[in-house]
Amino acid sequence: MATEVLWWIFAAIVVGTSLGVVFSRSVIHSAIFLIGSLASVGAMYVFLNVEFLALVQFLIYGGAVTVLILLALMLTRMGAGGRLERANGPQAPFALLVGGGLMAVLIGVAVRTAWPNNTSDTPRAISINQVSNGLFVDYGAPFVLASALLLVALIGAIILARQEDE
C-alpha cells in the first residue's frame, strides 16, 4: 500500500518535472528539471525491484549526463552579463515536429502492443551476481565489442578536440 502510494507520487514527480523541462524558459532550469525527472525514474526502478538499474540511473543519468549538460551550458551558452540565453531559437518548430513525432510513435506502440496482462508476471528481484553473469559470461562478446566502440569514440573525440593545438 505504502509502496503503491509512493509509486504514484514519484510518477507525478516524473510527469511534473518533465513538463518543467519542456516549458522552462531558461536552459538551466530545463537541465535541473531533467535531473529531477531522471532521478525520479531511478526511484521508480527501486519499486520495480531492479535496484541495480536504479543506482545506474542515478550514477549515469543523474550524476554524469546531466552534469555534462550543465557544464556544457556553462561553458557555451553564457551571455555577456553572466546570464543564460533563452531557449527559443529559430529551430523551435523543428523541435516541436521531432518531439511530437516521437510522442506519437511511442503512444502508438504502447497502445498497439498486447501487454501480458498477468499479475504473476511481476518483476523478480535480480541479484548483482545474475547481472554480472549475464553481462560478462553469457553476453561477453557483445560487451567487449561495445567497449571497443566506446574506446574508438573516446579516442576520436580526443583527436578532434586536440587538432587546434597543432
Residues near other proteins, by CB under 8 A: 1-3, 6, 26, 28-29, 32, 35, 39, 46, 49, 51-52, 55-56, 58-59, 62-64, 66-68, 70-71, 73-75, 78, 81-84, 125, 127-128
Cα distance between residue 98 and residue 92, in whole Å: 10
Name residue, grid cell 510518477: 11
Cα distance between residue 32 and residue 23, in whole Å: 12
Q: Is 55 exposed, middle or buried (0-12, 13-18, 19+ CB in 10 A)?
A: middle
CA angle 87, 59, 26 (to 5 degrees): 10
Pick 78 or 145: Cβ nearer other proteins: 78
Crossing angle of the two packed helices 27-47 and 66-76, in degrees rounded to 10: 180
Q: Shortest gap between Cβ of 130 and other proteins (angstroms)?
A: 10
Pick 14 or 62: Cβ nearer other proteins: 62
C-beta atoms surrounding 21 within 10 Å:
17
Q: Shortest gap between Cβ of 43 and other proteins (angstroms)?
A: 11
Pick 9 or 96: Cβ nearer other proteins: 9
Q: Shortest gap between Cβ of 99 and other proteins (angstroms)?
A: 24
Q: Shortest gap between Cβ of 67 and other proteins (angstroms)?
A: 5
Pick 67 or 150: Cβ nearer other proteins: 67
